[in-house]
């Protein structure tokens, strides 16, 4: 039987191996690295994890993760003056938009998209919560993935919010920055052509 | 074991960090699943979308294994579907219906019908008519076909106007007179190539929905696809 140094270390390897991007081999390397740098890395990591376990919560308004609920984004006075709400599928999308510096906007995290194959229906997503707060905003931007499931969800939300007097928009689909036409798929090219913008009128 | 062919992607599910399990509908092998390694990469993202027609090569050690697919795009429908609300709803509904079929059991007629609906550039009424006819064909292929050939009571072949919700057999308006409130309306386009009205489409979807519920959804303990209700709501608003 293989021996890797005690049940605590085995358990640590198993747990780390469940993380995205890590398998058993890379988890073993990570654990060895942590053990070698116990004071500089392992102890601070353990206490950081403990603090995160105690403090991290889901924002009751938008579904973001933060140490407070409502989160820092929802309570930011600059953002509260802005009447734009961006709807995203997941917290990682919210972080991506924040990294892009989209401005002082507020968000709503759906927690997924409609997916019959995975058994995700409207009741599994934060759509009712979105409808409940939609009236506070002048514009709702549906920043969902340009996939069949993402856009079905976008249309479904539009139907559900349809009765309210709110502008609903979605992100443009087309050529990405740095994209070369020759390498783009036909679908993206056709969407880009349909959504072309005018540079000059006669 | 391996085979090559063409297919319609009807579903894509994440598998691990980089791969996906793709569900396709093929003419010869019916609904077939397979793993696509690296399917979550940017390179594959646009190809592996439901609605796209693809060229497939499936390979596995044994016939009963999941196996792996090599996939190349033949026709990118997904981008056009995304831009069309009713087209997208219809597509999602068709994919959910095709998923009711058993795996690796060919259903050429349904696949052909599905592709016809996906390619159709038609209005809401015509699309709803096509969907109702698709559901009628689906019931037939699942073994729960309705008997719309002759009246269950008189045997007459013309003047059929209603269907029994219990037996799925048609009756004439004359024979249905005493029970009309307990019967389901039979839309004329189920018996002929007549153009449908909104009410006909609603009647057709109500009829197929009743039997899908009775024989499939309730038996398998699954909910009807939410897009179906949305489609019916849009039809009711258009009345």
Residue B24 contacts A where some CB pair is shorter than 8 Å: no
Residue B89 contacts A where some CB pair is shorter than 8 Å: yes
Q: Please give, rounded to a whole number of angstroms, the shortest distance from the CA of A149 to a CA of chain B.
A: 9
Please report which confidence band the pLDDT of residue A4 belongs to, taking 50, 70 and 90 as the band edges. low
Interval A165-185: pLDDT, tens: 899 999 998 898 888 899 888
Dist. CA B96–CA B93, nearest whole Å: 5
Interval A95-108: pLDDT, tens: 999 999 998 999 99
Q: Please give, rounded to a whole number of angstroms, the shortest distance from the CA of A161 to a CA of chain B.
A: 13
Q: Computed over its alpha carbons, how large is the radius of gyration of chain A?
A: 22
Residue B49 contacts A where some CB pair is shorter than 8 Å: yes
Task: Tell me what the mean pLDDT of segment A122-128 comes to.
Answer: 93
Find the CB nearest A187 among B23, B79, B99: B79
Contact call for B79 and A21, based on CB within 8 A: no
Contact call for B11 and A117, based on CB within 8 A: yes
Contact call for B89 and A20, based on CB within 8 A: no
Nearest CA in chain A to B233: A159
Residue listed under structure tokens 């353990």: A46
Residues of B in contact with A186 (CB under 8 A): 73, 76, 79
- In this predicted structure, the answer to whether residue A3 has a pLDDT above a threshold of 80 is no
Quick one: pLDDT at residue A99?
95
- In this predicted structure, the answer to whether residue A87 has a pLDDT above a threshold of 90 is yes
How does strand A84-88 pair with strand A139-142?
parallel
Q: Please give, rounded to a whole number of angstroms, the shortest distance from the CA of B4 to a CA of chain A.
A: 23
Residue A133 contacts B where some CB pair is shorter than 8 Å: no
Are the beta carbons of A140 and A82 closer than 8 angstroms? no
Find the CB nearest B76 among A118, A158, A187: A187
Dist. CA B95–CA B140, nearest whole Å: 17
Contact call for B88 and A148, based on CB within 8 A: yes
DSSP A86-149: EEESSHHHHHHHHHTT--S-EEEE-SS--BGGGTB-GGGTTHHHHHHHHTT-SEEEE---SSHH
Residue B181 contacts A where some CB pair is shorter than 8 Å: no
Contact call for B78 and A155, based on CB within 8 A: no
Between B195 and A154, residue with greater pLDDT = A154
Find the CB nearest B73 among A151, A185, A194: A185
Could you give all domains of chain B from N- to C-terminal order, each with its CATH number? 2-76 (2.40.50.140), 84-148+186-237 (no CATH)
Dist. CA B184–CA B176, nearest whole Å: 10
Task: Tell me what the mean pLDDT of segment A37-60 comes to.
Answer: 95
Contact call for A156 and B73, based on CB within 8 A: no
Q: Please give, rounded to a whole number of angstroms, the shortest distance from the CA of B9 to a CA of chain A.
A: 11
Find the CB nearest B230 among A117, A151, A156: A156
Please report which confidence band the pLDDT of residue A2 belongs to, taking 50, 70 and 90 as the band edges. low
Contact call for B225 and A116, based on CB within 8 A: yes
Residue B76 contacts A where some CB pair is shorter than 8 Å: yes
**What is the distance between the terminal CA atoms of chain B, rounded to a whole angstrom?**
53
ipTM over 0.90 threshold: no
CA dihedral of A61, A63, A66, A69, whole degrees rounded to 10: 30
Please report which confidence band the pLDDT of residue A153 belongs to, taking 50, 70 and 90 as the band edges. very high
Residue B60 contacts A where some CB pair is shorter than 8 Å: no
Contact call for B226 and A186, based on CB within 8 A: no
Dist. CA B171–CA B158, nearest whole Å: 10
Interface test with A, best of B92, B93, B98 (most A CBs within 10 A): B92
Dist. CA B234–CA B239, nearest whole Å: 9
Contact call for A151 and B82, based on CB within 8 A: yes
Instruction: Per residue of chain B (239 residues), give pLDDT as tens.
Output: 899 999 999 999 999 888 999 999 999 999 999 999 999 988 888 899 999 999 999 999 999 999 999 999 999 898 888 888 899 999 999 999 999 999 999 999 999 999 999 999 889 999 999 999 999 999 999 999 999 998 988 888 888 999 999 999 999 988 888 888 899 999 999 988 878 999 999 999 999 999 999 999 999 999 888 889 888 998 998 88
Give this prediction's pTM: 0.85
Contact call for B81 and A148, based on CB within 8 A: yes
């Amino acid at each position: 039987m293989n021996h890797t140094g005690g049940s605590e270390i085995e358990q640590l390897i198993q747990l780390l191996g469940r993380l995205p991007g890590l398998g058993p081999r890379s988890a073993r390397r990570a654990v060895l690295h942590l053990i070698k740098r116990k004071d500089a890395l392992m102890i601070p990591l353990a206490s950081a994890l403990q603090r995160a376990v105690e403090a991290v919560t889901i924002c009751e308004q938008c579904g973001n993760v933060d140490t407070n609920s409502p989160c820092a984004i929802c309570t930011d006075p600059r953002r509260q003056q802005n009447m734009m709400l961006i709807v995203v599928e997941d917290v990682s999308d919210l972080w991506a938009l924040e990294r892009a510096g989209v401005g002082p906007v507020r968000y709503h995290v759906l927690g997924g998209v409609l997916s019959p194959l995975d058994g995700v229906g409207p009741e599994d997503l934060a759509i009712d919560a979105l409808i409940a707060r939609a009236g506070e905003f002048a514009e709702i931007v549906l920043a969902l993935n340009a996939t069949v499931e993402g856009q079905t969800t976008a249309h479904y939300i539009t139907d559900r919010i349809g009765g309210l007097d709110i502008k609903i928009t979605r992100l443009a689909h087309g050529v990405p920055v740095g994209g070369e036409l020759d390498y783009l798929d036909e679908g993206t090219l056709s969407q880009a052509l349909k959504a072309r913008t005018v540079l000059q009128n006669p | 074991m391996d085979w090559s062919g063409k297919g319609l992607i009807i579903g894509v599910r994440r598998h691990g960090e980089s791969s996906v399990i793709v569900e396709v509908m093929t003419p010869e092998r019916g609904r077939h699943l397979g793993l696509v390694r690296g399917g979550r990469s940017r390179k594959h993202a646009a190809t592996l979308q439901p609605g796209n027609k693809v060229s497939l090569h499936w390979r596995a050690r044994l016939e009963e294994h999941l196996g792996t697919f090599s996939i190349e795009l033949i026709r990118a429908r997904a981008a056009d579907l995304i831009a069309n609300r009713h087209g997208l709803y219809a597509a999602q509904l068709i994919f959910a219906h095709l998923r009711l079929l058993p795996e690796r059991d060919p259903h050429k007629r349904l696949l052909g019908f599905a592709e016809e609906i996906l390619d159709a550039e038609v209005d809401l009424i015509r699309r709803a008519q096509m969907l109702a006819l698709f559901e009628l064909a689906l019931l037939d292929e699942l073994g729960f076909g309705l008997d719309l050939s002759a009246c269950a009571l008189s045997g007459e072949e013309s003047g059929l106007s209603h269907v029994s919700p219990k037996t799925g057999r048609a009756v004439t308006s004359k024979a249905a007179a005493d029970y009309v409130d307990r019967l389901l309306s039979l839309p004329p386009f189920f018996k002929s190539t007549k153009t449908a009205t909104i009410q006909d489409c609603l009647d057709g979807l109500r009829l197929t929905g009743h039997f899908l519920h009775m024989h499939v959804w309730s038996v398998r303990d699954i909910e009807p696809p939410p897009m179906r209700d949305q489609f019916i709501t849009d039809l009711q608003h258009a009345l």
